[in-house]
Amino acid sequence: MHFRSWLMRHRHYNMKKVLAIVIAIILDILTLLIGIPVTIINLFSGNFAGAGIAFLVMIVLLIVFPVIGGIIAKDRPVKINEKNTVYVEGFEENLLSLKEVKRIASKYQYGFYLGKTARAILNQTALVEQKINKAREAVNNRFEANSITWDRYMGVVDAAADTAVGNLDMMARRISVLDEKEYSNLTNPLKQLTKKDSLNSGRLDFYKENKECIERGIHDNEEMFNRLDTLSLELSQSADSNTKTDAVINDIEEITGQVKYYK
């Protein structure tokens, strides 16, 4: 594996994990520096029992320290909060907050296989409020509040907001059940030969299905943002005719109507 690929896959490890690995290595080095001289001294002094005990303690510590470091460094399941773990099988009544979506996606943003997808999710979490607020401001500036026309346009913008945020919720839940290392193994022909083809095929299909759903959500949101930008522009420029804005409204309604959440 090239060093660049290795680095891309492991940059998402936080400082705590890196520190755990570094400390484990340092402790192993110290164990060798102390254990070997103590063992040798006991041997030359004729204390064979002491030498044996020192050697065994050294071996045990050389194994224990990396194991503890590995446990600490191992990725944990993404948590929504202290009680609930993210599941893709079904959606909870309340959507994830944008902050939670960002936290989940940021775990994958430097991955070799999932990084591009995760970065697209992060980009949309940064844009969604901006696009929605801009469209709402344009509607407020163009129409009298609580009028029939205002109700229609603002209702469509609100529906677009719900759809975009719902898509982000779905994408975060989908990506949270994927694992960069397993995806690498499943797409590596040499590693596939060591496992059952049926098992590999089923897992790879699972990854492809979830990734396709996420990419579809990203695409739908991009289309939504483009329509909202167009709506904001048309409302600010067109003072007399509603023909263009009506067309954009119809496009937004069509997008929101087409979006489906897959379980």
- Report pLDDT digits (tens) over 83-107: 333 333 344 447 788 888 999 999 8
Both 112 and 179 in a single domain?
Answer: yes
Of 64-68, 70-74, 219-223, the poorest mean pLDDT is in 70-74
| 144 and 235 housed in the same domain | yes
d(CA 23, CA 69): 8
Question: What six digits make up the tokens of 54?
Answer: 């020192």
Q: At what angle do helices 115-142 and 148-176 cross, to 10 degrees?
A: 170
Q: Are residues 40 and 163 in the same domain?
A: no
pLDDT at 194: 53
Cα–Cα distance measured from residue 100 to residue 84, given in angstroms and rounded to the nearest whole number = 13
62 with 136, same domain?
Answer: no
Give the Cα-Cα-Cα angle 178, 18, 182 (nearest 5 degrees): 20
Structurally, the chain folds into a number of domains equal to 2
Looking at the fold, whether 21 and 129 belong to one and the same domain comes out as: no
What local confidence, expressed as pLDDT, does residue 193 receive? Answer: 53
Q: Are residues 169 and 248 in the same domain?
A: yes
Residues 126 and 224 placed together within one structural domain of the fold: yes
Q: Is the pLDDT score of 74 beyond 70?
A: no
Write out the residue range of the structural domain in which residue 146 sits.
98-258
Higher pLDDT, 70 or 28: 28
pLDDT in tens, 2-59: 323 323 333 444 455 677 778 878 888 988 888 888 888 888 888 888 878 888 888 8
Query: How big is the CA angle at 124 (ends 170 and 205), to the nearest 5 degrees?
Result: 40
Q: Residue 43 domain-assigned?
A: yes
User: Is the Cα dihedral 158, 160, 166, 171 positive or negative?
Assistant: negative
Domain annotation covers residue 82: no
